[in-house]
Amino acid sequence: MESILIMLLVFGGYLIMYRVYGKFIGNKIFKLSDDNPVPSKELEDGVDFVPTKKEVIFGHHFASIAGTGPIVGPAIAVIWGWLPALIWVFVGSIVMGAAHDFGSLIISMRNQGKSLSEFTGKYINTRTKYFLFFIIFMELWIVVAIFGLVIAILFKMYPESVIPVWLQIPIAVYLGYIVYKKGANLALWSIIAVVVMYLTVVWGAYMPLAMPSILGLSPIAVWTIILLVYAFIASVLPVTTLLQPRDYINSHQLVVALILLVLGVLFSGFSGELHLVAPAVRPHPEGTPPLWPFLFITIACGAISGFHALVASGTSSKQVRKETDSLFVGYGSMLLEGSLATLVIIATTAGIGMGYLAKNGEVLTGVAAWTSHYASWAAAGGLNSKVGAFVEGAGNMIQSMGIPKQIAMAIMGVFVATFAGTTLDTATRVQRYLVSETFPKTFKNKYIATGFVIFAALILIFSSGADGKGALALWPLFGAVNQTLAALALIVVTIYLKGRSRWGWLVSLIPALFMISVSQWAIVENQFNFGAKHNILLQVLNAIIFISMTWVTLEGAVKFFKTPYSPTKMDEELKRS
């Protein structure tokens, strides 16, 4: 019953805060108005800039920011206990993450859909633009390379997901064709598309496909190459061809997955099968970094993530058709991600106790099941372990409704893999925007720019050889880089609001100060850890990230104190645009 209570309290809190705090930020601080120009209409080109219904762009935005983030982060962070993870997800998403995402989205919309680094140059100075460019490029470079690897690993873990994940592409393309070219009813045909997709899930559950080794390349390496070829094609196509319809299907898939998870909690909770088997707080598990600050680095998506600012100022700002839609897309998506992260916490701290297959083949239940999986940081830290804990726990809860566990786990496996795929090609497209804006003469052509992005990812992926796991060398940097980016995005939002709102900048300044402190702390901790392991590469890159963050923070502080408040500045800026 405690799991049901947690779920209802968190969901109710999100609904209230969206109606109260979210609308306060949108209407009173950013002064949203549908009379203001938006880039999707001003620069409409049918490829990247396309005015889109808020329900459709919501699906794209959520699928892109989520990926595997709100699953793998909470699924390992509960090693410190369910209570710290739950508090950070709830408070972080409302006060920090949603304000960060929404602020990045609306500022980009008011700057012709420009990326975060571009409007950083405008609101601070050109120097900060290039420092921020380095951090963003590092983040996206790692994301594109790692998510290719992540999906390949998921295909190996859940071969039953291969058929439905790949068949979703032609289903999405046909949905885009029938809706945008033939004028068919979007709601009706999207439901048909989702039904067909779930039929492929059942097909995949009973016909798993495993990739063999080819030409000396491991199955994971082969999948990674195929996925990056797909990412190249997907990221240069018009958004209405694949990106929008696929992500709209994913939004329906999300609804189905959330309904199954919620019903699973209710059924197993009321039947007395579901109990929290993890401790509320466990401050010193074996091998873990310190809870503070690494809880706030480990759980990014689900609370606050710098990658969200890149999606908001990358693809989403070019598709929102009117300003008032931005609150639903930017703020609402973050709260929905927090809801998913909450269900992941329940699945990994309660659902896993309903039945867990240990490595020795023994089936464990209750506290023994959780303790076995979360015995140490090393035992619970790999992707297999993190995703596996969620899928296992979710499968247990859904099985209580009478759905075979094989089907339930296939649904969850496909859910994770398809959202990871969305993040992969969105990150590729955003990286293309970034290099095109920063070096327009060299990368003006979208095919050349995208080719550069994919080539850079391949270099990183195969830097370790034919196993295709080279990107793992930089993965230890990602958490701190990602949260550093969130802090810097909040600094830019704060400076933007300082000149346009008497006290409104506090909604971003307080989160910015918090994220600066935990990110810098984590970077310093990492530097000592990398030094102890004599990892020169990570030490050098980590030091450059530290210097870049410090520089942007100091430049931002100077600009903040020099920026005067002008009550008419926002109106004048919008009139000029």
Q: Report yes or no on whether pTM surpasses 0.85.
A: yes
Confidence band for 382, pLDDT divided at 50, 70 and 90: confident
Confidence band for 249, pLDDT divided at 50, 70 and 90: confident
Angle between helices 446-461 and 405-438 (to 10 degrees): 120
Cα distances (angstroms) measured from residue 152 to each of 211, 212, 222? 10, 12, 8
**Residues 410 and 158 sit within 8 Å (Cβ to Cβ):** yes
Domain boundaries, the chain: 2-576
Tokens of 272: 């007395």
Confidence band for 577, pLDDT divided at 50, 70 and 90: low
The pLDDT tens digits of the residues spanning 478-521 come to: 999 999 999 999 999 999 999 988 899 999 999 999 999 999 99
CATH 2.30.30 given to domain 2-576:
no
Tokens of 194: 């989702």
The Cβ of residue 554 has, within 10 Å, a number of other Cβ atoms equal to 11
CA–chain centroid gap for 438, Å, is 24
Q: Which amino acid is at 260?
A: L
Residue 576 has pLDDT above 70, yes or no: no
The pLDDT tens digits of the residues spanning 408-454 come to: 888 888 888 888 888 898 999 999 999 999 898 889 899 999 999 99
Residue 190 has pLDDT above 90, yes or no: no
Which residues, at least 6 apart from 219, have a Cβ–Cβ distance to it below 8 Å? Answer: 152, 156, 210, 211, 212, 213
The Cβ of residue 188 has, within 10 Å, a number of other Cβ atoms equal to 11
Element containing residue 364 per DSSP (H, E)? strand 363-364
Sign of the CA dihedral 264, 366, 5, 71?
Answer: negative
